[in-house]
Amino acid sequence: MTSFSPDPNLGIRTGDDGAFRLKLFSNTSHCLGDVLGEGNVRMPYLRTGYCDEGAEKWAWNIAFPGSLTVHNPSNAFALESVVPIGDDQNVQLTEPDQSVERQKWMIDDQGRISVGDPTSTSNPKYCLSAIEGVDIDKVTKDSIRLYPCAGGDEQSMSIIKQRWTTDYNT
């Protein structure tokens, strides 16, 4: 597998503390959050409200090039795809490790966040996808998944959203 070098900051503007929030492009009141799940495991989920409260809440950071880490507690958890990468695949929060390719993400000009080597032609790229309409009080892990990256504009009727936008506090 060919090695690649992601943009150190993923092309994201951040606040003075390096923090930013990842919000759905189609609905900026929905954002990527993290929660303590079953078995005391931290997991990402789609937060469906209060995304603008507090500078440190629901915030992410970049601990090393290409990483997406939870801002608070300080970069203790990194977003990582679960192997093997495939359709309808989970993502998890785990200890940051710069040598793990599954923790290196890229953001394209459409706001899609993909994992893996973007130069690979043998495998499809997989994008961080939010599933709107999932009852997050019952199955938080199912609201954020990996799906093959869709081309073009998102369908407004689709419950799977792959375009993200950022904001930050200074």
- β-partners of residue 91 are 81
Q: Name the pTM for this structure.
A: 0.81
β-bridge partners, 166: 22
Domain positions in the chain are 21-167
- Cα–Cα distance measured from residue 89 to residue 87, given in angstroms and rounded to the nearest whole number: 5
Q: What is the pLDDT of residue 160?
A: 86
Distance between CA atoms of 89 and 77, rounded to whole angstroms? 19
**One-letter amino acid of 6:** P
* Residue 71 predicted with pLDDT over 80: yes
Residue 4 has pLDDT above 50, yes or no: no
What would the CATH number be for the domain defined by 21-167? 2.80.10.50
